[in-house]
Structure 1
Amino acid sequence: MNSKSMLNENSAATHPELARAEGLWFADGGLIIQAETTLFRVYREFLAVHSGVFRDMLFIPIPADAETMDGCPLVRLQDSAEDTAYFLKALLYPDFFKSFPGPTTFDILSGVLRMSHKYDVDALQKRALIHLSARFPTTLDGWDETKAVDTTFGATLSSLLAVVILARQVDALWILPSAFYRLCEERYADNHIINGEGGFELTATDKLTCVSGVRKLETTFTSKVLKFLYHPRGFPGCRSSAVCAESRAKAAWTAEVSRNYSPQLSTRDLLPLNNWTCDDWEDFLDLCCKTCIAAMKVQHQKARESVWNELPFVFQLPDWVELERMKAEALR
């Protein structure tokens, strides 16, 4: 008995190794999809309307010896059953994968994004990219906003590795500067970046990019951000120059000492966008005059903006202008 007749005569119920997907097996559906050991019975016309790849696949003449199951064409996918389920639910159930800022999880987002990119479902791909872009911004203001709120996206080192891998898979390069930076923030990141974590491992090129990037950030770029503490020697309008100069010198020394290596020190504290915080400014209030504090804040912010502008180059990516162009084209 050949495979075609066996599939025709025996439904999924008689194949114990196969299981029907809950909520994705429609008795009147005209197409059966198999991903791993999971079966999905859906509407071929609906799938063809939304997916350019499935449209091309389903509307070519069906060969006489094509595999069928329960009288329906059988399509075997090389994708995971989990990704396939997320993708089909996102297509069929409007509330399953809502537009941003609706809630979702990274597993759902990544599955939907991979599948919609692969099978040419523009609307779903755009929705997923908007979710991802909101968590990995292309502006410093956006970065500061996302860092101020709790998020399940990129909450662990393995999920950050997954974000980088996903962005590469779908050519969403504008995600990478933020994602790489957040990877560099992780304590003991070098070992996990090199060896992988949670089943995720970067390419050799991205490993080198990330490890060399963190070295540049914690040295040259952090020094640039802290320069306001010692240069210039004084600010116009300061009425207590000696006191302010001494306070700035002490703060500069403290900031430099805090950069000394320690196994207990988080890499996050060494990097330029995080190295000087609101608490540090609070400590200055009673030590320096208002004129000097205002001038230092301006210099500090300009230095942070300079670091942000150079972030794509740190990670060997196109500049922000090109990344913004790519983002706009993908999301329009």
Structure 2
Amino acid sequence: MALISEPAGGPVYPERSDPWFSDGNIVLEAEGIHFKVYQGILAANSSIFKDLFSFGQGDAEHIVEKCHVVQLSDKAEDLRIVLHSLHDCTRYDHAATDKKIPLSVLIAYLRLGRKYDIAHLSEIAMSKLALECPTTLEARQHIIESSSINWPRFIDIDCTRRHHFLLVNLIREHNILQYLPYALYICATPDPNDSFEEAPWSLFSPNPESNSDERYLSTADHHACTRGQKILGQLLINRTISWIESCDTCAEQQCLSFKNVLQPRYLSPIKIGYLFHTWDTTWENMLCPGCVDLCKNINDQGAQDAWNRLPSIFGLPSWEELAGTWYVYIWSSVITTDAFLTELSIFCAF
């Protein structure tokens, strides 16, 4: 059996963890932790494991309870989540769009689902990402209009634990950059004038130059957010909500009074979260017909213009170019599959 280490007090053996089935027939090891599961279930859900198990019998020294041990380079928590999902379909039931998926589960599904070709898990993760980080303004507006749940709607993101920063790093890790503009927008929306934004999880708290914690933004992304926040604020004032300012074409007291009421709501302080604000039809009862047409047009065009510019504001290519990175990633993954299997076979031969 493989040892984790050989300290002065004697050998330390790998820890056993759940899931551990007494009648399981394969043991997976990650970060010094063992999981005893069923080879057939792994093979049925993963083409990578299926190919690996077809290599035949192997090293007799790597045996635990008469089961061969496969040593993996994955994080133990990621592996634990995925193994639970494969062996108990009720454990993590997050496929429905009306159910939030914990960020830890999303990470595990994305990392191991793609690495081991577990299609249904990676598809769940990608679908949740697509909903939480839309790539078109139409998709975003539809989600907001059709959902009664406040943000976050599809991924359980806790900003006080820096989950919004971790999401950015996860997107970069997997090169699914079409979701990056909106993920960075989420990081940039907090109000710099809010006293709570000095908290350790805030964009405005110190960001260490060298930190291996995945919950910190890279220096480049941190600068992109702080710089982009200023641009987004100007777009809100000068484009999307510019109609709130009085105009030369209307002197109706009703219109002026209503606009004065709205100004502090959106502009004092500036709330970037309203940059893509959908026109509220109830406003039409408080504006003259001429202002309704003019203001609605300004609002909608401003939101669309800001959306089109969102990637470039954070120093990224256009939406169309970013969408192409997904296909590049898939192709590169296909190319490296054989090399990956060879690497795995070094740790365990069957």
By the TM > 0.5 criterion, same fold?
yes
Aligned AA (1:186) = P
Aligned AA (1:289) = C
Residue 116 of structure 1 is aligned with which of 110, 113, 116?
Answer: 113
TM-score (norm 1): 0.75
Higher mean alpha-carbon deviation, 42-51 vs 67-76, is at 42-51
Q: CA deviation at 1:33?
A: 0.9
Aligned AA (1:179) = A
Give the match for residue 166 of structure 1. 170
- The whole-number CA distance in structure 2 between the counterparts of 1:143 and 1:221 is 17
Give the match for residue 190 of structure 2. 186
Q: CA deviation at 1:296?
A: 0.6
- The whole-number CA distance in structure 2 between the counterparts of 1:102 and 1:25 is 31
Aligned AA (1:273) = L
Give the match for residue 149 of structure 2. 149
Q: CA deviation at 1:164?
A: 0.9
- The whole-number CA distance in structure 1 between the counterparts of 2:98 and 2:272 is 34
User: 1:100 touches 1:130 (CA, 8 Å); kept in 2?
Assistant: no
Give the match for residue 32 of structure 1. 27
Taking the TM superposition and a 5 Å limit, the aligned residue runs for 1:251-262 are 251=260, 254=263, 258-259=267-268
Residue 68 of structure 2 is aligned with which of 73, 78, 85?
Answer: 73
Extract unaligned runs of 5+ from structure 1.
8-13, 235-240, 260-264
Give the match for residue 49 of structure 2. 54
Cα distance change, pair 17–65 in 1 and its aligned pair in 2 (3 A): closer
Give the match for residue 214 of structure 1. 229
Cα distance change, pair 300–310 in 1 and its aligned pair in 2 (3 A): same
Q: CA deviation at 1:200?
A: 0.7
Q: CA deviation at 1:48?
A: 2.8
User: Deviation digits for residues 264-318 of structure 1, max 9, x if unmatched?
Assistant: x5x6x14551679859x74x854x4132123211221111011111112212333
Taking the TM superposition and a 5 Å limit, the aligned residue runs for 1:287-326 are 288-324=287-323
User: 2:244 touches 2:262 (CA, 8 Å); kept in 1?
Assistant: no
Give the match for residue 225 of structure 1. 240
User: 2:30 touches 2:71 (CA, 8 Å); kept in 1?
Assistant: yes
Aligned AA (1:183) = C
User: 1:230 touches 1:248 (CA, 8 Å); kept in 2?
Assistant: no
- The whole-number CA distance in structure 2 between the counterparts of 1:220 and 1:154 is 27
- The whole-number CA distance in structure 2 between the counterparts of 1:253 and 1:120 is 51
- The whole-number CA distance in structure 2 between the counterparts of 1:253 and 1:138 is 29
User: 1:218 touches 1:272 (CA, 8 Å); kept in 2?
Assistant: no
Cα distance change, pair 123–257 in 1 and its aligned pair in 2 (3 A): closer
Give the match for residue 256 of structure 2. 247
Q: CA deviation at 1:62?
A: 4.6
- The whole-number CA distance in structure 1 between the counterparts of 2:206 and 2:93 is 30
Question: In the comparison of the two structures, how many residue pairs are matched?
Answer: 304
User: Deviation digits for residues 58-96 of structure 1, max 9, x if unmatched?
Assistant: 333554455221121112233333211111122222333
- The whole-number CA distance in structure 1 between the counterparts of 2:328 and 2:86 is 23
Aligned AA (1:100) = A
Q: CA deviation at 1:221?
A: 4.9
Q: Which has the higher contact order (CA 8 A, sep 6+)?
A: 2
Aligned AA (1:171) = N
User: Deviation digits for residues 192-226 of structure 1, max 9, x if unmatched?
Assistant: 48358986112222222222211211124542223
Could you say what secondary structure the match of 2:29 adopts?
Answer: strand
Aligned AA (2:171) = A
- The whole-number CA distance in structure 2 between the counterparts of 1:293 and 1:155 is 38
- The whole-number CA distance in structure 2 between the counterparts of 1:137 and 1:303 is 18
User: 1:137 touches 1:143 (CA, 8 Å); kept in 2?
Assistant: yes
Percent identical: 21
Could you say what secondary structure the match of 2:68 adopts?
Answer: strand
- The whole-number CA distance in structure 1 between the counterparts of 2:297 and 2:55 is 64
Could you say what secondary structure the match of 1:19 adopts?
Answer: strand
Could you say what secondary structure the match of 1:191 adopts?
Answer: coil
Extract unaligned runs of 5+ from structure 2.
5-10, 192-196, 331-350
User: Deviation digits for residues 99-144 of structure 1, max 9, x if unmatched?
Assistant: 2325332222222222212222223211211122112212223324
User: 1:114 touches 1:166 (CA, 8 Å); kept in 2?
Assistant: no
